[in-house]
A and B are shown apart, each in its own frame.
Chain A
Amino acid sequence: MIHAIGLFGRLYLTSIRAKMQYRAAFILLVCGTFFIGAMEALGIWALFDRFGNLGVWSLAHVAFLYGTVNIVFSSVDITARGFDTFGAGLIQTGQFDRVLVRPTYVAILVASRDVGLHQLGRLLQGLLVFAYALYALDIDWTVGKVLLYVFAVIGMYVFFFGIQIIRATMCFWTIETLELVNMFSHGGQETAQYPMSIYNESFTKFFTYVIPLACVAYFPIVAVLEVDEPLGSTMLFQYLSPLAAFVFFGCCLFFWFFGVKRYQSTGS
């Protein structure tokens, strides 16, 4: 296992160095993700400017949520992009056969094959929005809240990573339906930028019990920000909810192993 982690590190650094060979393109893409994120934030700002606060949620509260979600989402893309580009990069080119003749964990070779360094722009943009939120909110941080926030962030990371694994696994069957998974990755990112309580009830339930997005991107954040929670969740639930993301991740991994097995029997 230690060897596996070390190997991931080495391969990951290698992918970064390979990306750095195209420096101009890299800088351009970083600027691009920053810019696109900024345009999106501009849209949110415009709505607050026009309508005023969303109930108890001020622009700063939403900025806290938006910042967190975008920091985590871009981090997943930066560290696990190999799964995101799995279909086009490994399956369609037949390179996955090459991965299977290596005596190590398939997931490590896949994850480290590509890095989404261009998402550094998005990461920076998320950090700036988050910094604004911290400055504007003056949160009363306690040890419990810090721990909960860290728990939620790790849970959110694991959640979005799990979605990428599902996306990659689907490539064993078809690469034509990938857009559907975007609904949960980019769609999830977009959804989680606003408090879940504003959405339709069945929609919120789906994103709590089926795809546990609200368990990392809403309930724990409510507890950290100490805002009213109209869905009626208890404090205990808010603190424990990120656990759901880890269960979800386990299911995603299981699906992945199933997919690899199936690839070995169909070869396509």
Chain B
Amino acid sequence: MSIIQVEGLTKSFRIAERKAGFFGAVSGLFSRHYRNVEALRDVSFEINAGELVGYIGPNGAGKSTTIKILAGILVPSSGRCEVNGRVPWRQRRDHVASIGVVFGQRTQLWWDLPVIESFDLLRDIYRVSQDRYVATRDELIELLDLRDFLDTPVRQLSLGQRVRCDIAASLLHEPTIVFLDEPTIGLDAVSQLSVRAFIKQIAEERHVTVLLTTHDLDDIEAICDRLIVINDGNLLLDGTIDDLRSRYGDGRYIAVELESFKDVPHEHEDLVVERSDSHILFCIENDVPAFINHVLAEYPVKDLLVTHPPIERVVASMYQTERIAS
């Protein structure tokens, strides 16, 4: 049963352009130029109840626009969209009562108040009955381990603590769908891991559908079963992580720091992404262990680091592949 249906969703904005420099500013006094920006072009997908879906793409790809439309904040230029059987922007009040939203960069909590009081206010805003509220709240406090800072004003929380409180706040009214917009952005590595674990656990225990935007592939790997990739307003891929890998390569970045830059073999130039005097960055598609052994044997290695390529690169290679194909 699909709980979110999106069909042919399109959204364009008109943006005023400003010219740079002193004369640009002066001429801006008299005339202004506008240009149309297509934030979404004919995007379609369906999400079933209980799915954990990652929605990824580089900055400005149209992620936030999609979330805003699904949350009823924005009206699309054209296309159809139903969430829980409702058109979000037409029945805004009913719709938003059944969803939870976390905008990672902004808090929904009252800045100067203790966390627990923000929770109480949300109970009133969402008109949750006292019994249900207490039960849900206590369960979330337990699960997200919030007990230690419930009485701390929000402005004094660390970012990691605040994000956990924000996630709890978005679940107090027991929504069936949760939209998480960049929930791990700016978090340190430890908080990132714990927030990912919480999201996964909560989704399973409370049976909510999660749509999560991020530009961190590791988020997706840790949390999601399914992945939707968007770039420049176009939907590029809708499938599993394995689909992404098998179609666009399961690359790794291998960053090598060298002891000295003499006697460095100049080979595998097609695999080198970046090269400076003492650093080389390789992008390897197949048989990573064998390549690492090779590097350790042949190069004067001081340090070596293996990471996922950034999402921009995966999407870029995906984009290239799609363009060649069409």
Contacts and interface: CB of A to CB of B under 8 A. Distances in A.
Complex contact flag A–B (Cβ < 8 Å): yes
A18 B125 contact: no
B97 A17 contact: no
Contact of B68 (A14, A97, A103): A97
Contacts of B101: 98, 101
A98 B73 CA distance: 9
B73 A267 contact: yes
A267 B39 CA distance: 11
**Among A14, A94, A101, A267, residue most surrounded by chain B Cβ atoms (within 10 Å):** A101
Nearest to A98: B108
Interface string B81-114: 0000000010011101101010100101011110
Interface of A is mostly: helix
B143 interface: no
Nearest to A106: B92
B106 A95 contact: yes
A266 B13 contact: yes
Nearest to B121: A14
Interface of B is mostly: mixed
B75 interface: yes
Interface residues on B, range: 20 to 34
Contacts of B103: 94, 97-98
Contacts, number: 69
A109 B108 CA distance: 12
Interface in A1-52: 3, 6-7, 10-11, 14, 17-18, 21
Given A21-B153, A102-B126, 8 more contacts: A18-B113, A97-B68, A100-B72, A100-B96, A101-B99, A103-B126, A104-B125, A266-B14
Contacts of A266: 13-14
Given A14-B117, A21-B153, A102 B73 contact: no
A104 B13 contact: no
The 9 A-B residue pairs with the shortest CB-CB distance in the complex, in nearest-first order? A103-B97, A18-B112, A100-B73, A265-B75, A101-B101, A264-B75, A103-B93, A267-B74, A101-B96
Interface in A218-262: none
B65 interface: yes
Interface in A121-158: none
B72 A18 contact: no
A94 B96 CA distance: 18
B14 to A, nearest CB: 8
Contacts of B126: 102-103
Contacts of A264: 73-75, 89
A159 B121 CA distance: 30
B94 A103 contact: yes
Nearest to A7: B124
B71 interface: yes
A264 B74 CA distance: 4
A93 interface: yes
A154 B121 CA distance: 30
Interface string B4-25: 0000000001100000000000
Contacts of A21: 112, 153
A15 B96 CA distance: 23
Nearest to A113: B110
B113 A14 contact: yes
A13 to B, nearest CB: 10
12 contacts: A6-B124, A11-B121, A14-B117, A18-B112, A98-B101, A98-B108, A100-B73, A100-B92, A101-B96, A102-B125, A103-B96, A109-B125
